[in-house]
Amino acid sequence: MKSSHSTRFLFGWALFGLLIGGAIIIYTHVDFKNLIRLPSHNIKNHDSYAKAVNKAAVSVVSINAYRLVKEEPALLPGSKKLRRNDQPVFKIRPNKGSGVIISTDGYIVTNNHVVTGAQRIEVMLHDGRRLDAQIIGLDPDTDLAVISIPLKQLPAIRIADSNSTRVGDIVLAIGNPFGIGQTVTQGIISATGRDRVGLNTYENFIQTDAAINRGNSGGALINTQGEILAINSAIYSQTGNYLGISFAIPINLVNDVVKQIINNGEVVRGWLGVEGVDLNAQMLKRIDLPNIQGVLITDVFDRGPAEMAGVRVGDILTHINKKVIRDTRDVLNAIADGRPGDKVQISGIRERQSFETQAVLEQRPKE
């Protein structure tokens, strides 16, 4: 009796399930039959940056810059004294970074901080080949360097006009973060013309939120056409890790530095021969010129271009070549844009009176 009841119960649920299942099958069949079919090309051409990455990735290399690092001798346990007869130990350690092939003849641009001081530089190409590289020239003032490898017909990256970049443009960063292998990250241009960051002597950064970490330095920041816009250089971080603010050197500035290094072995910049400080509220109050922008000259080099032009300590420079001077960085950039022999027009204030003079730039001395 109990068994018969159970059989009917199970059969009832099975039949109910079959009916429901049939209903689902019929409903599903009708639903799919009436779906609007999308053209196949819309599926194939979905949003992707694969083409851009494929164009540029072959031109991005990984770099191991081997340096001799001094390790201090170990201390005696529980003491501040060295072990007897212990000598400093020197070890070779790799500094990992990235680089970009900018010429089919084997020239590669990277950051100065990646390769400076290296005893040996190894470059790994996109296809896995490893070659030793030599330094062609360094420019610490912009944190750029040019190295070369003994190969021809290399895939040089396509170059964009970095002056045409806009805040909000999509960008892709290609490099070798933490030495794990070539990696692509995506973001936007957050700002252009970033200076006063305190990283380099000459600054004109593109800021991006594309993830850049250790090892990305010297890699490429590209647009969605696979053209390079900048060389990834640094991050703003209190921890040493990516926090959403990264800086890259615009390719137009990079090109100027690279050409000078390849042609001259160094970068030649103009020099005025002055030192100064930014004006602040206290200074302006003291001289009773509250609305003046400029730089107060605190030192003039003997027989330098500025002294020959009559610039004196205590002068306030307000314009160079008719460009407004806001602070010392503006003076530095305005003079560095010139070349030895160039004439620059200087305007300023001396003892509350306006003055103008002309100076002939000389070559900026090495530090």
> What are the E-state strand segments in 112-267?
120-124, 130-139, 144-148, 170-175, 183-194, 205-208, 220-222, 228-235, 246-250
Give CA–CA dist 213/178, Å, rounded. 7
Catalytic residue selected from 113, 246, 330, 347: 113
What secondary structure, in 3-state letters, does 248-286 show? EEEHHHHHHHHHHHHHHCCCCCEECCEEEEECCHHHHHH
Residue with the two structure tokens 């290094």: 261
Give CA–CA dist 109/130, Å, rounded. 17
Closest CA to 121 of 112, 133, 109: 133
Are 52 and 160 in contact by the 8 Å Cβ rule? The answer is no
41 is known as an active-site residue: no
Catalytic residue selected from 143, 209, 315, 330: 143
Give CA–CA dist 210/307, Å, rounded. 46
113 is known as an active-site residue: yes
Closest CA to 348 of 331, 336, 329: 331
- Residue 210 corresponds to which amino acid? A
Three-class DSSP category at 301 = coil
Residue with the two structure tokens 């991006």: 208
Give CA–CA dist 199/339, Å, rounded. 24
Cα Rg of the chain, angstroms: 31
Catalytic residue selected from 217, 233, 246, 347: 217
143 is known as an active-site residue: yes
How far CA 287 is from CA of 34, 48, 227, 230, 284, in Å, comes to 82, 60, 51, 43, 5
Indicate which residues carry an active-site annotation: 113, 143, 217
